[in-house]
Chains A and B, each alone.
Chain A
């Protein structure tokens, strides 16, 4: 799958080029920060009407990732909706897409700072999910071990021979992995920012997403 394999707290994981995390032994696919309904929230607050296709685009990519992996359990790591009102305002088409994706597999919504509370959609709603050695939560907690989180929308910039390339990236060290945002209209925070540099250990890797996953020492 062109992914990058690594081990976290004994769990063998794969960082997929799409930005999703794959745990083969548990058939678990994890995505973070879908921000469904972002364009709608923007319009609701009186901003310009951004192209309303980002929710569909995000879900189509998620569907591809689920189909390609054959996941039995999907974990959405929080900020799945741009806010709770956006979750309520999802169109019938989008609800149908989600229902179809959820059919025949476990589905867990983790709460994020944008969506702190249950939504009227299938699947279980959790603050934190613990499975085997791993803990899934939205925002990384200092000192945690075996932690899978999102929230920061990390991206990393690599200087190649001809140009600098900046992409959404997984950040991985011995204690945690931080996932890039999976949503379509989402910006990013560079790995060299003080917050991310402080959070990650010195030997951390950044795994750049795209058509193929590329691991490099995390740029600081």
Chain B
């Protein structure tokens, strides 16, 4: 396709040239599906929209032509601005509107009846649009859909929901062509498979990736500590870097670490450089203020988390600093891409290890990033909870035929291998709850009409279903506000579990300020400002990413080297000492150290399976140790090892790692486990068993809250094979439980090396300083009590 003359003239006036990948997108404009891989700032969005502008330039198109979907509301608004400018300057007859959760009800209604040529939206708003009876009219004539940042969507259930919605749109608008825009990823063909209608082909276009990034480890005078994740030692060096650059993004892996680092940065910020903080727990107004200040160029640095992984193009960022090991090479590379968005300028980035072990991990990540060796775990088939929600959405739009819907769902790549039995299970769940006890036959949500079509039993249900569309499940969070007499300003959110751990007078960090907990009122945490320099409780939980398999393997490969010229002296000495007194872990073997310390026996298991799996391993092994009479007392896990302590030494570890026994333990352990219940709650909410948003006034005091934990316990007791329980078990293999990686670890080793040592080893020492120690209550406590009681009675002369 050639560009119409008025657009070419506009490019000429600006002195711009059409990039080769933009031309390639024009050439492939009629393909059913195209995936463009391009670095941020490479004119990627323009590449996605040029064919639309070219097609609409002559005028005469009636109704919706192009749908743009992005993971962020802010991005939709930003693109609208950026697209508006050329369209107005060229004078094209194109109407552009956005539609997100923030759009007014009137505008939304009008958009359905009279859609613009280009509609910019999010996956959730799109799913909602497809749930209306008039969806067929809204989407008639739709020609193109552009999915921005598809790599981010492809990693989550939001992507699965989006692709199911596209399957629906393709039925309503058979000529629909699909375009995906992605950052650099390890497996573009996997994303192409998700994007294209199955089994359509999908061409993958690679834009020039630009010059190689300039990345290195930040050199500091001070040595990193043995354990911990704060990187407080590097605050001075980071401030120096901020001074030397125009704008710096300082990425952290968790919100808690971001808060602590920001606090330390301010204490050391003698020049009062303007530095802001941005993360997902902050109030929206606060976040927007930081974003706007950033766009204006008012800030020299922003301390942030994954909340800035995506988003608005900030051309002025000239340095990215990653605090803490990046855990995952792909994320590191994408974050580095946030710097220097000008085409053909190299991105500059610095890594700051938070502790001694992370020095090794950072060096491994640097090597991987330079080689462009990205990591990623394949996602597996489309999740069934999302499919359940999709079926309910389809029912809202009108009566449907099960065979037709099944065929349509299978055109979504992730669901291409879906079995009819699995689909029928989901349909049955939506219709009757899917229980072994057929209790709801007269009250089913969906019913089959005499003509075979399925429809809502009560049409009013549609509104309830629409209110609960979406796959983003926030853990239960509570809003934090300043006390009302001081303005009641919202500050952000904390997790309910964290709020429950607070007592009046406790101080904690939020949005970079120290606040004092006063009261919990109507589900709002009320706080006051506090001038103390040190918060009493600094930690509220955030996502803890597990180190990827690739990075773990690279670290093990580094251990296998004879010497380590690439590592700083302190880290070299540490590893050499470990090799001298014990052994370094190696690929294909499982190293276990056993040693006494502080009156207890310890075993340290170097599984290198990532934090979540090592944590699950700790839970399972302590359970096994309890059963075999080893009297465990507790454990702690990091990304590379699990340390377990107890009363008795382990002599023969091999039986502990019997995979069948572990899996059996998993089943029993999962039964009452909080992580499992959290997994269940998320899936049950997506599938529509639990409603987040309820019509009518919110009940106060949570008098009538249906506890998902009790639903879980009830199903476990009376209907353990129910669809929701099966989904929960599938999810447990990944995510927070990550049992899949334990299985892979055990399958990948040829044997276990148990070393009996008489003292702590260099490599195990940092684990003694780790947070998050998990106590185990069992026979050990009884034995300790018995010992103590006997000792007391003896000394009293009674025994």
Tell me the complex Cα distance, A159–B715, Å.
30
Residues of A contacting B704 with CB < 8 Å? Answer: 187
Interface bits B696-717 vs A (CB < 8 Å: 1, else 0): 0000011111110011001101
Interface of A is mostly: loop
Q: Are A54 and B714 in contact (CB under 8 A)?
A: yes
Which residue of A51, A91, A159, A193 is within 8 Å of B433 (Cβ)?
A: A51
CB distance from A92 to the nearest CB of B (A): 12
Q: Are A50 and B711 in contact (CB under 8 A)?
A: yes
Within 8 A of B (CB), among A32-57: 39-40, 43-44, 46-54, 56-57
When A47-B691, A189-B703 are in contact, do A53 and B714 touch as well, CB less than 8 Å?
A: yes
Interface bits B455-466 vs A (CB < 8 Å: 1, else 0): 001101100100
Residues of B contacting A44 with CB < 8 Å? Answer: 443
Interface bits B410-453 vs A (CB < 8 Å: 1, else 0): 00000000000000000000001101010110011100000000
Q: Are B706 and A187 in contact (CB under 8 A)?
A: yes
Interface check A185, CB cutoff 8 A: yes
Residues of A contacting B722 with CB < 8 Å? Answer: 51
Q: Are B464 and A49 in contact (CB under 8 A)?
A: no
When A46-B458, A159-B503 are in contact, do A51 and B714 touch as well, CB less than 8 Å?
A: yes
Residues of A contacting B707 with CB < 8 Å? Answer: 185, 187
Interface check A190, CB cutoff 8 A: yes
Chain A interface size, as a band, is 20 to 34
Tell me the complex Cα distance, A11–B461, Å.
50
Tell me the complex Cα distance, A43–B435, Å.
13
Tell me the complex Cα distance, A187–B501, Å.
21
Residues of B contacting A50 with CB < 8 Å? Answer: 433, 689, 706, 711
When A51-B433, A54-B714, A164-B500 are in contact, do A46 and B701 touch as well, CB less than 8 Å?
A: no
Interface bits A155-169 vs B (CB < 8 Å: 1, else 0): 000010001100000
Interface check A153, CB cutoff 8 A: yes
Measured CB to CB, the nearest residue on chain B to A186 is B704
Q: Are B439 and A40 in contact (CB under 8 A)?
A: yes
Q: Are A51 and B711 in contact (CB under 8 A)?
A: yes
Tell me the complex Cα distance, A153–B710, Å.
15
Q: Are A46 and B703 in contact (CB under 8 A)?
A: no
Residue among A39, A44, A46, A163 facing the most chain B CB atoms (10 A cut-off): A46
Tell me the complex Cα distance, A50–B719, Å.
12
Interface check B190, CB cutoff 8 A: no
Chain B interface size, as a band, is 35 or more
Residues of A contacting B717 with CB < 8 Å? Answer: 53, 57
Tell me the complex Cα distance, A122–B461, Å.
36
Residues of A contacting B574 with CB < 8 Å? Answer: none
Residues of A contacting B276 with CB < 8 Å? Answer: none
Residues of A contacting B437 with CB < 8 Å? Answer: 52-53
Q: Are A57 and B718 in contact (CB under 8 A)?
A: yes
Q: Are A184 and B444 in contact (CB under 8 A)?
A: no
Tell me the complex Cα distance, A46–B443, Å.
8
Residues of B contacting A39 with CB < 8 Å? Answer: 439
Residues of A contacting B373 with CB < 8 Å? Answer: none
Which residue of B439, B501, B702, B706 is within 8 Å of A52 (Cβ)?
A: B439
Interface check B402, CB cutoff 8 A: no
Residues of A contacting B688 with CB < 8 Å? Answer: 48
Q: Are B702 and A48 in contact (CB under 8 A)?
A: no
Interface check B690, CB cutoff 8 A: yes
Tell me the complex Cα distance, A166–B732, Å.
27
Interface check A123, CB cutoff 8 A: no
Interface check A72, CB cutoff 8 A: no
Q: Are A40 and B443 in contact (CB under 8 A)?
A: yes
CB distance from A163 to the nearest CB of B (A): 7
Residues of A contacting B433 with CB < 8 Å? Answer: 43, 48-52
When A47-B691, A153-B703 are in contact, do A52 and B440 touch as well, CB less than 8 Å?
A: yes
Q: Are A49 and B435 in contact (CB under 8 A)?
A: yes
Q: Are A49 and B445 in contact (CB under 8 A)?
A: yes
Residues of B contacting A54 with CB < 8 Å? Answer: 714
Residues of A contacting B701 with CB < 8 Å? Answer: 189-190, 193
Q: Are B719 and A53 in contact (CB under 8 A)?
A: yes
Within 8 A of A (CB), among B330-360: none
Q: Are A184 and B464 in contact (CB under 8 A)?
A: no
Measured CB to CB, the nearest residue on chain A to B691 is A48
Q: Are B440 and A48 in contact (CB under 8 A)?
A: no
Which residue of B443, B710, B714 is within 8 Å of A49 (Cβ)?
A: B443
Q: Are B710 and A184 in contact (CB under 8 A)?
A: yes
Residues of B contacting A52 with CB < 8 Å? Answer: 433, 435, 437, 439-440
Tell me the complex Cα distance, A123–B704, Å.
28
Residues of A contacting B432 with CB < 8 Å? Answer: 49
Measured CB to CB, the nearest residue on chain A to B722 is A51
Q: Are B714 and A57 in contact (CB under 8 A)?
A: yes
Which residue of B435, B444, B464, B702 is within 8 Å of A47 (Cβ)?
A: B464
Interface check A219, CB cutoff 8 A: no
Q: Are A48 and B445 in contact (CB under 8 A)?
A: yes
Tell me the complex Cα distance, A184–B709, Å.
11
Residues of A contacting B500 with CB < 8 Å? Answer: 164
Q: Are A43 and B703 in contact (CB under 8 A)?
A: no
Interface check A188, CB cutoff 8 A: yes
Which residue of A43, A57, A164 is within 8 Å of B501 (Cβ)?
A: A164
Measured CB to CB, the nearest residue on chain B to A49 is B433
Residues of B contacting A190 with CB < 8 Å? Answer: 701
Q: Are B706 and A46 in contact (CB under 8 A)?
A: no
Tell me the complex Cα distance, A189–B702, Å.
7
Measured CB to CB, the nearest residue on chain B to A50 is B711
When A184-B710, A187-B703 are in contact, do A46 and B718 touch as well, CB less than 8 Å?
A: no
CB distance from A161 to the nearest CB of B (A): 11
Q: Are A46 and B711 in contact (CB under 8 A)?
A: no
Q: Are A48 and B443 in contact (CB under 8 A)?
A: no
Q: Are A187 and B711 in contact (CB under 8 A)?
A: no
Interface bits B573-588 vs A (CB < 8 Å: 1, else 0): 0000000000000000
CB distance from B560 to the nearest CB of A (A): 42
Q: Are A184 and B714 in contact (CB under 8 A)?
A: yes
Interface bits A121-148 vs B (CB < 8 Å: 1, else 0): 0000000000000000000000000000
Tell me the complex Cα distance, A53–B460, Å.
26
Q: Are B711 and A49 in contact (CB under 8 A)?
A: no
CB distance from A192 to the nearest CB of B (A): 9
Interface bits A78-95 vs B (CB < 8 Å: 1, else 0): 000000000000010000
Tell me the complex Cα distance, A63–B20, Å.
77
Residues of A contacting B445 with CB < 8 Å? Answer: 43, 46, 48-49
Q: Are A53 and B690 in contact (CB under 8 A)?
A: no
Tell me the complex Cα distance, A43–B698, Å.
20
Tell me the complex Cα distance, A39–B690, Å.
12
CB distance from A160 to the nearest CB of B (A): 11
Residue among B435, B460, B461, B714 facing the most chain A CB atoms (10 A cut-off): B714
Residues of B contacting A91 with CB < 8 Å? Answer: 439
Tell me the complex Cα distance, A53–B705, Å.
18
CB distance from A193 to the nearest CB of B (A): 5
Measured CB to CB, the nearest residue on chain B to A41 is B443
Tell me the complex Cα distance, A185–B706, Å.
7
A–B complex contacts, Cβ < 8 Å, 9 sampled: A40-B443, A46-B445, A49-B445, A51-B715, A53-B717, A164-B501, A185-B707, A187-B705, A189-B702
B residues in contact (CB < 8 Å) with A:
432-433, 435, 437, 439-440, 443-445, 457-458, 460-461, 464, 500-501, 503, 688-691, 701-707, 710-711, 714-715, 717-719, 722
Other CB < 8 Å A-B pairs besides A43-B440, A50-B689, 16 of them? A39-B439, A46-B457, A46-B461, A48-B445, A49-B443, A50-B706, A50-B711, A52-B435, A53-B719, A152-B703, A164-B501, A184-B714, A185-B714, A187-B703, A187-B705, A187-B707
A residues in contact (CB < 8 Å) with B:
39-40, 43-44, 46-54, 56-57, 91, 152-153, 159, 163-164, 184-185, 187-190, 193
